[in-house]
Amino acid sequence: MLNRRDYILKLIIERFVQTAQPVGSKTLIENYDLPFSSATIRNEMQLLENDGFLEKTHTSSGRVPSSRGYKYYIENLRDKKKNNKIKFELQTILNERTQTIEDMLKESCEILSEMTNLVSLVLGNNTSEETLASLQMIPIGNNSSTVIFVTNRGAVESKTFFFDKNIKVDDLEKCIAMLNKRLVGTSVSELVPKMRLLEPIIHDYIIDGDVIYQTILKTLGTLANDKVVMYGKEKLLDQPEFSNDPERIKDVIDLFESPTFFKEITEKVQFIDKDITVKIGGVDERDDISIVSAKIYIPGVGENVISLIGPKRMNYDKAYEAIETLVDELNKKFEEISKGDS
Amino acid sequence: MLNRRDYILKLIIERFVQTAQPVGSKTLIENYDLPFSSATIRNEMQLLENDGFLEKTHTSSGRVPSSRGYKYYIENLRDKKKNNKIKFELQTILNERTQTIEDMLKESCEILSEMTNLVSLVLGNNTSEETLASLQMIPIGNNSSTVIFVTNRGAVESKTFFFDKNIKVDDLEKCIAMLNKRLVGTSVSELVPKMRLLEPIIHDYIIDGDVIYQTILKTLGTLANDKVVMYGKEKLLDQPEFSNDPERIKDVIDLFESPTFFKEITEKVQFIDKDITVKIGGVDERDDISIVSAKIYIPGVGENVISLIGPKRMNYDKAYEAIETLVDELNKKFEEISKGDS
DNA sequence: TTTTAGCATTCAAAAGAACAGAGTGCTAGA
DNA sequence: TCTAGCACTCTGTTCTTTTGAATGCTAAAA
């Protein structure tokens, strides 16, 4: 069904994905016994190169897929048959009734990472709809205390601080209760300015309330940060394109720490299909890393982005399918729960 | 005051710490203009090697300090003059009155890491005295909820879970209130068995209480885990003994993830002085990494271990002094707070 | 017109050779 | 007891050679 040129391109990409070595005409016939000669393949390769689907690393090297080649592969050439193993594994995880959202995402991502050999990532972004749901204080020892903030999306932040002996725990509790009453329901981004306005009132409750005020102010600020979790970082470092070069290993580690990297994921992706996006190379000014990602909506919690990150030479086929399956299964699960028929 | 042999050992160690290159007799003469010849140094080196303080990497290489050499250096040869810069920086941080414990430790460690070029680590260990201080529930959306556990040491754990539509939020809240009443004060290690006993009671509150029961049970288990935070991981990866060899970089990364690694820190250290311990090489079956660590007691929160981790060829001098200063300053700070005269 | 066999050519990577340099140990004399 | 001098050792660098996988092109075969 595929014409000869497409078929050769498909083989080259799949071979390169597997071996990480440039693919030559001879290698191809030796490994796939094709009904034509190496010379024919050479001719086709030349045409594929002219069209920008393949590249050479040097004049007498084999061919390597270009970004355009990968894109064409994903859109037209990849196998779309479902691998039921991923689906089965995910269902097993998700059908445990006693799962928390944290565990569901964690275990799903770990499975995805394991089965695709890619890094998986969950990015929980702050929407403007996130508000403070609760502010509480738990006394710790004689003159220290833990304050806990919870949002209506289930995000939790806590800090422990010391206070002066001459502050009465009673006053402190009343003060926190007051703040709780006044701040609950405030959107996360509005918390800091609102807290500023409340400063004078704090001093009505506690003579020397500055420590308390500053502590709460600081902690409220961190509530607004996006949360990021990654699984299987070592998968990327183990890829041959990185594992042999200390410089590149360091680069990848830096990348994982860099905040711009995560923004890139949700912003500059090249849209492909449904809610799944693929970005081939060009991640954070690097051309050797690709990302497949999808948005999922968790009822009550909000929108999260789940991504698989790997070398540009990743198995897009498998990655795409894995993400697709995860999104399907999660949505199915959440729908089930919302209907209350579990 | 130092005899010649000790003086030469000191120079060799300091030179090696600085350059990461084996030190030869000629290099020593050229860089430190000494009142004797290279031949004399060679003779002394031979004796130092016989005594096990120095080693050779191959027959015609310069000398490298052995573990024993480092130990001798730390105990007898190092400069004990205080570097006031570290002290000053730490005091600046710790004297901000509005600091939380988390921020105090975080910022102190970041400074230590920056000034010593080593990885810093805080290990908060669970004592048997840690008990549950609070168990609460915050509803999130229609049929999901976040449960929050807080211990009397300020440790917080939270999980978000879905529940069936036919469960009334009211019942759930009553159930959590009941659990809160019964579990608060229980030691962390006793929580899981105690929760098991409470299972039947949960079903009195909620018809289908299994999800809730299992969720809480699981989360209680994680409360008992030790908490670990590291700062400046890249410092170790940048050291020349690691940065050139991809295999060793990977090893170090694995080490940072390995749980046995952290246990080792608190357990198998070689005691040196006061509350500060130094382990030279032999960390987690590796001979190229050393650790300087100290226990600190935070009133109300308990005992924590703070460590500096680096290559065996670290500046023990500086590391020791940094940890010592940190412990002193933190203790001073905590004492001040306990007395309430801040 | 399309395919293939054959061949000269290209280039990277591996293997080998030569050499410089930093070091040691030992001996004999100051 | 110290030091100058020298033979020897070993690593790491640089330069050269060899090998092998690949290409592009041409001419003949299908």
What pTM was computed for the model?
Answer: 0.90
What is the arithmetic mean of pLDDT over A81-91?
90
In this predicted structure, what is the pLDDT of residue B341? 45
In this predicted structure, what is the pLDDT of residue B73? 96
Q: CB contact, 8 Å: B185 with chain A?
A: no
Q: What is the H or E stretch that residue B111 is in?
A: helix B101-116
The C-alpha atoms of residue B215 and residue A54 are separated, in whole angstroms, by 52
What is the arithmetic mean of pLDDT over A91-95?
91
Higher pLDDT, A97 or B109: B109
Residues 3-22 of A with CB under 7 A from strand D: 21-22
The interaxial angle of helices A191-205 and A169-183, nearest 10 deg, is 150
Give the nearest partner residue to A143 out of B211, B218, B337, using CB atoms.
Answer: B337
What is the arithmetic mean of pLDDT over A318-342?
86
In this predicted structure, what is the pLDDT of residue A208? 80
In this predicted structure, what is the pLDDT of residue B264? 73
Give the nearest partner residue to A340 out of B99, B164, B237, using CB atoms.
Answer: B164
Q: CB contact, 8 Å: A102 with chain B?
A: yes
Closest B-chain CA to A161: B100
Q: A254-290 pLDDT, tens per residue? A: 888 887 887 777 666 555 667 888 999 877 778 899 9
Radius of gyration of chain A (CA): 26
Closest A-chain CA to B139: A152
Taking 70 as the pLDDT cut, the residues of chain B under it are: 266-273, 340-342
Q: CB contact, 8 Å: B199 with chain A?
A: no
Confidence of residue A124 (pLDDT cuts 50, 70, 90): confident
What is the arithmetic mean of pLDDT over A171-185?
93
CA–C1' span, B15 to C28, in Å? 32
Burial state string for A294-304 with b = 16 or more CB within 10 A and e = fewer than 16: bebebebbbeb
In this predicted structure, what is the pLDDT of residue A129? 81
Assess whether A169 (CB) lies less than 7 A from strand C: no
Residues 38-97 of B with CB under 7 A from strand D: 39-40, 43, 58-61
In this predicted structure, what is the pLDDT of residue B284? 73
CA–C1' span, A26 to C15, in Å? 25
Q: What is the H or E stretch that residue B6 is in?
A: helix B4-19
Average predicted confidence (pLDDT) for chain A:
89
For residue B297 the two structure tokens come to: 């007691």
Confidence of residue A341 (pLDDT cuts 50, 70, 90): very low
CA–C1' span, B57 to C21, in Å? 17
Smallest Cα–Cα separation from A305: which of A109, A98, A75, A74? A109
In this predicted structure, what is the pLDDT of residue A1? 76
Chain D nucleotides near the protein (CB, 7 A)? 2-5, 8-11, 20-26
Nucleotide nearest to A22 in CA–C1' terms: D22
Give A272's contacts (C-beta < 8 A, 6+ positions apart): A74, A75, A278
Per-residue pLDDT at A342 exceeds 50: no
CB A128 within 8 A of CB A149: no
Q: B3-25 pLDDT, tens per residue? A: 999 999 999 999 999 999 999 99
CA–C1' span, B192 to D4, in Å? 78
CA–C1' span, A60 to C15, in Å? 21
Q: CB contact, 8 Å: B230 with chain A?
A: no
The C-alpha atoms of residue A297 and residue B74 are separated, in whole angstroms, by 57
Q: CB contact, 8 Å: A142 with chain B?
A: yes
In this predicted structure, what is the pLDDT of residue B14? 96
Q: CB contact, 8 Å: B208 with chain A?
A: no
CA–C1' span, A255 to C12, in Å? 30
| Torsion angle of the four alpha carbons B303, A166, B107, B90, in this order, in degrees rounded to the nearest 10 | -90
Residues of A in contact with B165 (CB under 8 A): 339-340
| Torsion angle of the four alpha carbons A272, A277, A282, A284, in this order, in degrees rounded to the nearest 10 | 160
In the block, residue with structure tokens 């422990």: A160
Query: In the structure, how many helices (H) and strands (E) does chain B have?
Result: 14, 11
Residues 41-70 of B with CB under 7 A from strand C: 42, 45-46, 49, 56, 59-63
Q: Read out DSSP for A241-272? A: HHHT-HHHHHHHHHHHH-HHHHHHHHHSPEEE
In the block, residue with structure tokens 């078929």: A7
Residues of B in contact with A245 (CB under 8 A): 246
B156 contacts A146? CB cut-off 8 A: yes
Per-residue pLDDT at A320 exceeds 70: yes
Q: CB contact, 8 Å: B239 with chain A?
A: no
